[in-house]
Amino acid sequence: EPEVTQTPSHQVTQMGQEVILRCVPISNHLYFYWYRQILGQKVEFLVSFYNNEISEKSEIFDDQFSVERPDGSNFTLKIRSTKLEDSAMYFCASRAGIFSGNTIYFGEGSWLTVV
């Protein structure tokens, strides 16, 4: 069964460093998302992306965050200058589109620890 894949599975970084989390959405999907989950808390929406641009972003997604689809397969989340409170599991997700289904599938997550 097709799946969303993410790398790295775990990254430790120093405060102030830049981090790039990578995702390969399911191949025929058109809508892409990033969510995060701080340990012990609920899953929170960060950003949605469609047709090569951001569709919507949450209050969490400030100027330190950016997303990019550099080629036909990858979808990346960049955090420019990490803070301690950015420590969380980051989930990439994707959805097919209007004719192919509304189910949103999640990747295995990238666990980011900022020290």
Partner 1 sequence: GQNIDQPTEMTATEGAIVQINCTYQTSGFNGLFWYQQHAGEAPTFLSYNVLDGLEEKGRFSSFLSRSKGYSYLLLKELQMKDSASYLCAVRDGTYNTDKLIFGTGTRLQVFP
Q: Which residues bind partner 1 (CB under 8 A)?
A: 31, 33, 35, 41-45, 48, 50-51, 55-56, 58, 89, 91, 95, 98, 102-109, 111
Residue 92 or residue 114: which is nearer to partner 1 going by CB? Answer: 92
Residue 19 or residue 46: which is nearer to partner 1 going by CB? Answer: 46
Q: Report DSSP letters for 60-106, one per residue.
A: T--TTEEEE--SSS-EEEEESS--GGG-EEEEEEEEEETTTEEEEEE
Residue 3 or residue 85: which is nearer to partner 1 going by CB? Answer: 3
Closest distance to partner 1 from the beta carbon of 51 (Å): 8
- Written as six digits, the tokens of 15 are 């405060």
The conformation of residue 60, written as its DSSP 8-state character, comes to T
Closest distance to partner 1 from the beta carbon of 41 (Å): 8
